[in-house]
Amino acid sequence: MDKQQEAYREEAYELLAELEISLLELEEAPDDEDVIDQVFRAMHTIKGSSAMFGFEAIAAFTHEVETVFDLVRSGHMPVTKELVNLALKSRDQIKHMLNTPNVDSSANEEIIKQLKSLSSDPKISIHEADEDSILEGDSETPISEMDTDMDKGTAPDRSTENMPESDLDLDFGSKEDTTEKVSTDTAVSVTYRIRFRPNHNLLIQGTNPFQLINDIQELGDTTIVAQTNKIPDLFEIEPEHCYIHWDIILTTGQDLDYIRDIFIFIEDNCDIQIDIIDKDGDIEYRSDYKKLGEILIERKDISSDLLKQTLQKQRRLGEILVESQVADSGQVESALAEQNHIKHVREKRKQDTATSSIRVDALKLDTLVDLVGELVTVQASLSQKAFSSEDTELIGIAEQVERLTADLRDNTMSIRMLPISTTFSTFKRLVRDLSNELGKEVAMSTEGGKTELDKKVIERLNDPMVHIIRNCIDHGIETPDVREKSGKSRSGMISLIAVHSGANVLIKISDDGAGINPQKILSIALEKGIISPDTELSETETYNLLFAPGFSTAKTVSDISGRGVGMDVVKRSIEALRGTIEIESEIGVGTTITLKLPLTLAIIDGLLVEIGKEYYVLPLSAVEECVELTQADRDKSKGRNIAWVRDEIIPYIPLRDIFQIQSPPPPIEQVVIVEIDNALIGFVVDNIIGEHQTVIKSLGRVYRGAKEFSGATILADGSVALIMDVHRLCLLAETLERKKVER
């Protein structure tokens, strides 16, 4: 596959994601014309680009769906649940076709058949030409002939405020693509003022002004103001005559001749004046355009003297001009429309310039992050050398390199940050489909979608979140009847909230369902031998049993959840991301699962410690405090691994024992206290070196079995420090302790 086709696929996937979001929005607001337009535009672009890059089957299939949405757009067909279902199904099918180029066409035919039956509903009025296209399923139709004309009764309802197709990021598929016309995307954008004063006989001669205006709208962003001041009263009007004239502001990449061509058949009988009033590429990037008076003078609608006299009245210029009958209100309206149009175009241009972006291969970005990681390590070596040399000049250079490296590191890391909304949006479809499948009514709300997380964290977060949401719908939210009986609304709610918390992001997944019954968890855990009858557990510890391997409260195994292999995997996945998971629940009120995740997986703030003659790193975000551990402290606890911190007992793990280090420990050791699953646990180390910018390197094959270490980092002197996985170390310590007791 060549690069262009690869680019097409990437962009098609993005468009399909947008299409899914728009369709789900449409289901909630079926009359929202903007959303209908979004759906139509996405389909139109997919169709056009598919045809352009040789994906004819996708183009033909999308055409059928697009044709139905053209009917929706023109008001000939309502948005129903069936239509949204079919459209979502079609979107999935297009995605399937993208993934599997030689897909069996029977699925396409089935969907098209269903679309045909939906659109051939006798209650829906379809113009003959379009009816043919839909009912005959003419997949042979060339793409160039697929678009419907405005005057055929299927006119796209493009209001003047609508975003033109030329403004879309992707628009390979506009009508122009298959003709000599070229996309306006790449051309310089120019704003024209078109004053179109038709001859009285325009309409009698059979010219369709809607078609003319539509043709202009096809060229770009337009503002159209019709002037009605020449329309005579009822006694004088010749109804077949045309009395209206138009001021049209058009921003397009097409040149003047191209615009003139639209009027080619009527230009001899009409007064058409086209002026350039703004041009992309002009250095002047003022977002404010000419003042109203300037425009009217430039148009020779008023003289500058009259303007000055009028201005002296110090009232709103437009009102004064109309009241003084210096200008007609239509002229003022038109001038204001021009002012607004240009202002909008310039603001957009400014915004586009500010937010211009390029597409970069994710692998290249990963390489950049790796290189920055190497640089951070080398910079640390340089700083160490410089400080030990006591050469002030060298120290100065090292400090500059340190500052620049820190900036480079932060910038590079920020490039990989993505808003979590990219993941949130996919769950809306999941909630919709699952609730339909289970006969439940569930809505989903999101908050904090702009919160950013490292791309890798987001990628690896998807599966655990899918599982949690499935559980919420399957086990948490009750059926509508049950909810109604318990005084709740029939529709349940799942909310996804993301917030920053220091170097972490908290993601809260809440439902307003039945909640989790701790007694039920305890009895199942007892039944499955996960706990013994005399085990006493706090509420949090009880909920944590849900993460035990093989635990399931579901009485039956369903496709959705309840296989008992989920929540332990979810916990492991979150912990693999150096995150934590917590459950809070109240019977009858609902459940909240909170995921605490690090912002990034590439570079973390660590606490460098020494054990034996080796260095280790603990994630600083988990560290609560550090205390000393003397022989006197050990004596006080009478051989038990506990430390007294401000009259509180904190159990600790002697890492020397775990790592089987034989050399004698220092007289004063250090306990690094870490919070794990809401409990404080200490890790005993020889020395604390201090904070360390930890560039995480994955461990090689030799260390594959050492699950207690999540990676390694290179220190300034070139030596290697292992990064401890505190959760796993705790589990290992528990296992070793249990074995010791059993012996």
Partner 1 sequence: MNFQMDTSGQSGTITIDEPLTIENVSDMKTIFLDAYKNTNHVNIQFTSLTDIDLNGLQLFCSAHRTFSQAKKILNIDLTNASIFTKKAKQLGLIRHQGCHFEQSENCLWRQQNSR
Residue 178 one-letter amino acid: T
Q: How far is the CB of 226 from partner 1 (least distance, A)?
A: 4
Which is closer to partner 1, CB of 21 or CB of 332?
A: 332
Q: How far is the CB of 212 from partner 1 (least distance, A)?
A: 10
Q: Is 652 in the site for partner 1 (CB under 8 A)?
A: no
Q: Please, what is the end-to-end C-alpha distance for the chain in angstroms? A: 63
Q: Is 232 in the site for partner 1 (CB under 8 A)?
A: yes
- Tokens 């399909």 sit on residue: 16
The dihedrals phi and psi of 124, each to the nearest 5 degrees, come to: -95, 125
Sites for partner 1 among residues 168-207 (CB under 8 A): 203-204
- Considering only 2, 240, 257, 647, the residue that binds partner 1 (CB under 8 A) is 240
- Considering only 233, 534, 647, 742, the residue that binds partner 1 (CB under 8 A) is 233
Q: How far is the CB of 232 from partner 1 (least distance, A)?
A: 6
Q: Is 83 in the site for partner 1 (CB under 8 A)?
A: no
Q: Is 77 in the site for partner 1 (CB under 8 A)?
A: no
Q: How far is the CB of 325 from partner 1 (least distance, A)?
A: 7
- Considering only 23, 60, 194, 244, the residue that binds partner 1 (CB under 8 A) is 244
Identify the three-state secondary structure at position 103: coil
Which is closer to partner 1, CB of 206 or CB of 664?
A: 206
Sites for partner 1 among residues 38-67 (CB under 8 A): none
Which is closer to partner 1, CB of 224 or CB of 531?
A: 224
Q: Is 135 in the site for partner 1 (CB under 8 A)?
A: no
Q: Is 210 in the site for partner 1 (CB under 8 A)?
A: yes
- Considering only 224, 595, 602, 643, the residue that binds partner 1 (CB under 8 A) is 224
Residue 181's alpha-carbon distances to 60, 251, 276, 651, in angstroms, are 22, 16, 20, 75
Pick the piece of the chain touching partner 1 (CB under 8 A) from 243-251, 392-400, 546-554, 591-599: 243-251
User: What does the alpha-carbon distance between residue 115 and residue 86 come to, in Å, rounded to a whole number?
Assistant: 7
Name which of 221, 247, 187, 218 is nearest 345 in CA terms.
221
The dihedrals phi and psi of 278, each to the nearest 5 degrees, come to: -160, 145
> Which regions of 631-733 does DSSP assign to beta strands (E)?
642-645, 648-654, 669-676, 679-685, 687-695, 709-714, 720-724
Q: How far is the CB of 210 from partner 1 (least distance, A)?
A: 6
Written in H, E and C, the secondary structure of 579-602 is CEEEEEEECCCEEEEEEEEECCCC
Residue 298 · residue 290 · CB < 8 Å: yes
Which is closer to partner 1, CB of 269 or CB of 486?
A: 269
What does DSSP assign to residue 196?
E
Which is closer to partner 1, CB of 192 or CB of 683?
A: 192
Please name every residue paired with 590 in a beta bridge, in sequence order, or none if there are none: 586
Q: Is 229 in the site for partner 1 (CB under 8 A)?
A: yes
Which is closer to partner 1, CB of 39 or CB of 248?
A: 248
Which is closer to partner 1, CB of 197 or CB of 508?
A: 197
Q: How far is the CB of 259 from partner 1 (least distance, A)?
A: 17
Q: Is 155 in the site for partner 1 (CB under 8 A)?
A: yes
- Considering only 32, 34, 92, 157, the residue that binds partner 1 (CB under 8 A) is 157
Residue 318's alpha-carbon distances to 171, 228, 287, 307, 633, in angstroms, are 39, 17, 21, 11, 85
Q: Cβ atoms within 10 A of the Cβ of 591, count?
A: 24
Structure tokens that stand for 311 in this block = 């201005």
Q: How far is the CB of 213 from partner 1 (least distance, A)?
A: 7
Residue 571 one-letter amino acid: K
Q: Is 36 in the site for partner 1 (CB under 8 A)?
A: no
Q: How far is the CB of 552 from partner 1 (least distance, A)?
A: 54
Structure tokens that stand for 409 in this block = 């590191």
Residue 173 · residue 90 · CB < 8 Å: no
- Tokens 């429309």 sit on residue: 337
The helix-helix angle for 81-99 and 56-73 (nearest 10°) equals 160
Please name every residue paired with 274 in a beta bridge, in sequence order, or none if there are none: 194
Q: Is 160 in the site for partner 1 (CB under 8 A)?
A: yes
Q: How far is the CB of 229 from partner 1 (least distance, A)?
A: 6
Which is closer to partner 1, CB of 145 or CB of 319?
A: 319
Q: How far is the CB of 695 from partner 1 (least distance, A)?
A: 59
- Considering only 213, 342, 376, 681, the residue that binds partner 1 (CB under 8 A) is 213
Q: How far is the CB of 256 from partner 1 (least distance, A)?
A: 21
The count of chain residues that interact with partner 1, using the rule CB under 8 A, is 41
Which is closer to partner 1, CB of 239 or CB of 529?
A: 239
Which is closer to partner 1, CB of 212 or CB of 722?
A: 212
Which is closer to partner 1, CB of 227 or CB of 591?
A: 227
Expressed in percent and rounded to 5, the helix, strand and coil fractions of the chain are 45, 20, 35
Q: How far is the CB of 69 from partner 1 (least distance, A)?
A: 17
Phi-psi region for residue 422, left (φ > 0), alpha (ψ -120 to 50) or beta?
A: alpha
- Considering only 7, 52, 182, 226, the residue that binds partner 1 (CB under 8 A) is 226
Please report how many Cα atoms fall inside a 13 Å half-sphere around the Cα of residue 31, on the Cβ side. 0
Phi-psi region for residue 262, left (φ > 0), alpha (ψ -120 to 50) or beta?
A: alpha
- Tokens 């399957």 sit on residue: 474
Please name every residue paired with 585 in a beta bridge, in sequence order, or none if there are none: 591
Name which of 303, 305, 308, 331 is nearest 318 in CA terms.
331
Q: Is 219 in the site for partner 1 (CB under 8 A)?
A: no
Measured at the CA of 733, the angle between CA 456 and CA 518, to 5 degrees, comes to: 75
In sequence order, the 6+-apart residues with CB closer than 8 A to the CB of 538 are none
Q: Is 242 in the site for partner 1 (CB under 8 A)?
A: yes
- Considering only 246, 424, 543, 615, the residue that binds partner 1 (CB under 8 A) is 246
Q: How far is the CB of 330 from partner 1 (least distance, A)?
A: 6
Q: Is 235 in the site for partner 1 (CB under 8 A)?
A: yes
Name which of 417, 414, 405 is nearest 373 in CA terms.
405
Q: Is 661 in the site for partner 1 (CB under 8 A)?
A: no
Sites for partner 1 among residues 315-344 (CB under 8 A): 318, 322, 325, 328-330, 332-333, 336
Q: How far is the CB of 485 from partner 1 (least distance, A)?
A: 41
Q: Is 140 in the site for partner 1 (CB under 8 A)?
A: no
Q: How far is the CB of 169 from partner 1 (least distance, A)?
A: 26
Identify the three-state secondary structure at position 638: coil
Q: How far is the CB of 555 from partner 1 (least distance, A)?
A: 53
In sequence order, the 6+-apart residues with CB closer than 8 A to the CB of 354 are none
Q: For the chain, give the number of residues.
A: 743
Q: Which residues bind partner 1 (CB under 8 A)?
A: 75, 125, 155, 157-160, 203-204, 209-210, 213-214, 223-226, 228-229, 231-235, 237, 239-240, 242-244, 246, 248, 318, 322, 325, 328-330, 332-333, 336
